[in-house]
Amino acid sequence: MGAPSASAQGAILMMASMASFTLNDACMKALSDELPLFQAIFLRGIATTVLMFGLARALGGLRFLWPAREWRLIGLRTLTEIGAAYFFISALFNMPIANATAILQVLPLAITLAGAVFLGEAVGWRRWTAILVGFSGVMLIVRPGFEGFNAYSVNVLMAVVMVTARDLLARRLSPEVPTILVAFVNAVAVMVVFGIGAAFTDWAPVSTTAALQLGGASVLIIGGYVFSVSAMRVGEIAVIAPFRYTALLWALVLGLVVFAEFPDGLTLVGAAIVVATGIYTFYRERRLAWAAAG
């Protein structure tokens, strides 16, 4: 069958990114009962930066001599990463995770639209249909009501804006710039900014449970950083974007395994739609790649 196409590789990387980010979100949500927002993100940032430094050094990614254009893109992307972290985690600390996740699922539409407008990528009616059908499946899963929409919902919408800009900026980077370097710079910046914020807040003691949750989040966020940057640097955005919906599937698994929450009938139907949309998009991309190669 041959090696996966660039878009297929991007889809796989996006699914890995969503798994990492969703598991990280669960750890951070659990911390909200014990630690203030800035302290939690700062402590996670310390561990993440140390681990990322070791990984980047081992992979030979600590090469800093790049043109000014690349550093401008890395700098702008880092700012959007900081904004996304603040807006989404502050919402996660203050509203149900299902509602926050529901609003976040407009990302595939936002990124695909932005890719078409700003990068000139072609988006056919089949891809738009796949994205919209997947989104309908997401709505069946979470079924957000107006009672769950509060002031922090605006924070999630701001996170959508930040992540959309972040992913488009990653796509503009030269292929020669190591992905691990971009992720490392992001980790350092998040640590520094939230460390400054933490200096002006009251700290809470860190229990053994909280320490374990912070450790888990620190490792998982590295996977999220690396996989998300890599995913947006290969393939077509319209193909890769729908695989963000897999975050909801991970949320279902976590709910069942960790919180003993068995999904109802509509939730299972929605999950099936999301899975079917992803499989269709992936299969169609493979067929197009085979046709082009043949």
Model pLDDT for residues 173-204, shown as the tens digit of each residue = 998 999 889 989 999 999 999 999 999 999 99
CA distance 23 to 251: 8
SS3 of residue 175 by DSSP: coil
Q: 68-107 in b/e burial notation, b at 16+ Cβ within 10 A? A: eebeebbeebbbbbbbbbbbbbbbbbebebebbbbbbbbb
Average pLDDT across the chain, whole number: 84
Would you state the pLDDT for residue 107? Answer: 79
Would you state the pLDDT for residue 237? Answer: 74
Q: Which of 56-60, 109-113, 132-136 bottoms out in mean pLDDT, i.e. has the lowest?
A: 109-113
Would you state the pLDDT for residue 133? Answer: 84
Structure tokens at 231: 């995913």
CB 160 within 8 A of CB 104: yes
pLDDT band at 3 (very low <50, low <70, confident <90, very high): low
The greatest distance separating any two alpha carbons of the chain, rounded to the nearest whole angstrom, comes to: 63
What pTM was computed for the model?
0.77
pLDDT band at 271 (very low <50, low <70, confident <90, very high): confident
Would you state the pLDDT for residue 145? Answer: 59
Would you state the pLDDT for residue 2? Answer: 53
Would you state the pLDDT for residue 232? Answer: 75
What pLDDT, in 10s, does the model give residues 64-117? Answer: 999 999 999 999 999 999 999 999 999 888 877 767 777 787 777 777 777 777
Q: Which of 32-36, 205-209, 226-230 bottoms out in mean pLDDT, i.e. has the lowest?
A: 226-230
Calculate mean pLDDT across residues 16-28.
90
One-letter amino acid at 189 equals A
E strand or H helix at 3: none
User: What's the Rg (C-alpha) of the chain?
Assistant: 19
Strands of 124-178, DSSP E: none
Q: Is the pLDDT of residue 142 over 90?
A: no
One-letter amino acid at 10 equals G
CB-based contacts of 289, cutoff 8 Å, min separation 6: 5, 7, 8
Q: Is the pLDDT of residue 148 over 60?
A: no
**Among 184, 198, 188, 160, which residue's Cα sits nearest to residue 80?**
160
Residue of higher predicted confidence among 47 and 142:
47
Would you state the pLDDT for residue 146? Answer: 54
Q: Where are the domains of the chain?
A: 6-293
Calculate mean pLDDT across residues 209-236.
87
Calculate mean pLDDT across residues 41-62.
91
One-letter amino acid at 47 equals A
